[in-house]
Amino acid sequence: VIIFLSGFFLRLGNYNLPDKNLYYDDNGLQYFQESDSYYNYRLTRNLLEHGHLGDKIIDGRSWDLHSYYPPGVPVDYPPLLPHIAVGFYLILNLIGSVSLKEACLWLPTIISPLAGIVGFLFSRRISGEFGGFITGMLIVTAPLYVFRTKFGFFDTDMLNIIFPLLIVWLLFEAEN
């Protein structure tokens, strides 16, 4: 719990920015922190609304008509992040009512600290409870990882640590 909450609160440094006119849209939601977040959000919205990542199906393939406008391009983007975001959005809407953009803004602050939990569980088997705690804290407080997974940074960086670490940990457990 300490590892998760440390990572969670560390990533909220840019939540609730002071200048409402500069950092917030017309709906009162903060803007995403970088341009790739808008692309990922658009693909996620397409997946939720149309059932595929593109804007339209052309010749049996999903096409993104906004990239390389006007001709568009087939969507060859790996769909893991949009699928995770839609799942997170649907789970949140079982509890309350949130928009897809709100879910996408919050997703990195939830997923990234989970990497510290995986690191704790993995390292605990090798070096005990204290070693696992230190590993988890180092993962959730790594400066570059925190910077790229803060509130409103909806990009694949949140998955760069958790999935490789999860795979190595599960292989390690399978070996034992």
What is the band of 29 on the pLDDT scale with cuts at 50, 70, 90? confident
How far from 94 is each of 18, 35, 89, 90, 98, CA to CA, in Å?
Answer: 31, 29, 9, 6, 10
State the pLDDT at residue 109: 94
What is the value of pTM for the model shown?
0.87
Tens digits of residue pLDDT in 33-82: 888 999 999 999 999 999 999 988 988 889 988 888 778 888 988 889 99
Who wins on pLDDT, 68 or 5?
A: 5
Q: Which two tokens stand for residue 133?
A: 């705690």
Residue 13 has pLDDT above 90, yes or no: no
Mean pLDDT of the chain: 91
Average pLDDT over residues 78-99: 95
Who's near 5: CB < 8 A, 6+ residues apart?
Answer: 113
Q: Which two tokens stand for residue 85?
A: 């975001």
Q: Which strand ranges, in their side-by-side order, compose the sheet holding 61-64?
A: 56-58, 61-64, 73-74
HSE-up of residue 80 (Cα within 13 Å, Cβ side): 8
How far from 163 is each of 81, 115, 116, 131, CA to CA, in Å?
Answer: 12, 8, 12, 21
What is the band of 18 on the pLDDT scale with cuts at 50, 70, 90? confident
What is the band of 28 on the pLDDT scale with cuts at 50, 70, 90? confident
State the pLDDT at residue 67: 83
State the pLDDT at residue 120: 97
User: What is the torsional sign of CA 71, 74, 76, 77?
Assistant: positive
What is the band of 176 on the pLDDT scale with cuts at 50, 70, 90? confident
Cα–Cα distance measured from residue 76 to residue 91, given in angstroms and rounded to the nearest whole number: 27
Tens digits of residue pLDDT in 97-148: 999 999 999 999 999 999 999 999 999 999 999 999 999 999 999 999 999 9
